[in-house]
Amino acid sequence: MKNQNLLAIIFMSIIVLSCKKETAQPTSSLTNAPSSTPQKYSARTGGSLAAPIAEAKFYKLFPGYDHTDDFEGSGVKVQGSYFYAVFDNRYKIGKIKNTLPINSSQNSLLSSGSGNSNFEGITYDSYSTPNYYVVDENESHNGAYSPKIYEYDENMNLQNTAWAPYSFPSSLSNKGFEGLTWIRRTNDDYLLGLCESSGIIVVMKQDGNNWDLVTTFNMPSNTGMTDFADIDISSDLHVAVVSQESSKLWIGQLSSTTWSFVDEGVVYDFPTGDQSGNVGAGSYVIYANVEGVSWISSTQVVCASDKAKSDQPSYQTYKDQSIHIFNIP
C-alpha cells in the first residue's frame, strides 16, 4: 500500500511539472490571432485642455465658399506644413496650410467626386512610395457591412479601393470604422481601424492591394468616452484618440512589440465655454462634434469637427465644421 501511494505521488508530480512546462512556452513578438480582450486598467484624468491656439471654420479657409456650404469634418492628418481633412459629405479632400490662412489660395480641395462620401478617417503611409489612405466607415458587402479603404497618391489621385477584412451587422451599418491610422512594423505595413461604438482597434496587414486581419485590441476601460471618433499614432508610438459624444481626448502609448497599450493613458476634456461659444467663459460643452485628430508635435494636435446635428443646442454650432489646434499639457 505504501508503494502504491508512493507511485501515485510520483505520477502526480510528473503531471504538475508537465503542466508548468506547457504554460511556459514562448509567444511570438506580435499577436497573430484576432482577440478583443479589454485592457485591464483605467485611464487617468488629465483635466481640461486650454483654449485652442488657432481655429477656423472650414468654409472660411477655401476661396469661393460661404456659410451656406457644409464641410462636415470627419478626419484630419498632418503632413509637412499642411493639414489634410476629409468630410463625410464630400469626396474632395481639403489641403489646408497649417497657419490656417483665411480665404487663401494656399488652401484647396483635391481629388474628385460628388455627393456624400461617408469618409471618416485619413492617414499617411510614408514608406517607399508615399500615399494616403481614406476610410469609408461602412458599406453593404457580402450580406453585412464593411469599411472600404481608398488609396490615393501624394497628389490625391485615386489608386485603388479595397474592403477592410472586418464586418458589422446591419444594426451597426452607420457605426463602422470612425478612424484610421498607418504604422510600419517588422518590415510590414499595417492599418489600424477604430470602431466607433466599441473602441475596438482592428489591425490589418497589407497584402498587395488588399488587407488581411491580424488581430484586434481594445481601448482602455473607464476613459469616460461613449464613442470613439478618430485615432492617430506618432512616430514614437504616442496615440491620440478623440470622442465626439464625450468631448474628450485620450493620449496613450502603443507597445513596440505587441498590439496593446503600455499603460492606461491620460484622458482630457476639451474646453468648455458660454452659450455664445466663448472658450473658458462658462461650463457648456461647446466642442461637441470633434471627429478627427492628428499629431503636430509631441505637445500639439490638430482636430477636425463635424456639423452639429439638428437636435444639438445652438451654442454647439459655434465650433462645428471647423479645424482646431490644441496644445497638450
Q: Which residues contact 118 (CB under 8 A, 6 or more apart)?
A: 88, 136, 137, 138, 139
- Please tell me the pTM assigned to this model: 0.87
Q: Which CATH architecture has domain 36-327?
A: 6 Propeller (2.120)
pLDDT digits (tens, 9 = 90+) for 129-163: 999 999 999 999 988 999 999 999 999 999 999 99
Q: Which residue has the higher pLDDT, 37 or 74?
A: 74
The confidence score (pLDDT) of residue 36 equals 43
Q: Cα torsion at 294, 35, 259, 38 (round to 10°)?
A: 70
How big is the chain, counted in residues?
Answer: 329
Residue 294 pLDDT greater than 50, yes or no: yes
Mean pLDDT over residues 105-132, rounded? 95
pLDDT digits (tens, 9 = 90+) for 125-138: 999 999 999 999 99
Residue 125 CA to residue 185 CA, distance in Å, equals 12
pLDDT digits (tens, 9 = 90+) for 180-231: 999 999 999 999 999 999 999 999 999 999 999 999 999 998 899 999 999 9
Region of residue 237 (left: phi > 0; alpha: psi -120 to 50; beta: else):
left
Residue 133 CA to residue 161 CA, distance in Å, equals 9
Mean pLDDT over residues 110-128, rounded? 95
The confidence score (pLDDT) of residue 14 equals 36
Using DSSP, how many helices (H) and how many strands (E) does the chain show?
Answer: 2, 23
Question: Other CB atoms closer than 10 Å to residue 31's CB: what's the count?
Answer: 17
Domain boundaries, the chain: 36-327
The confidence score (pLDDT) of residue 171 equals 83
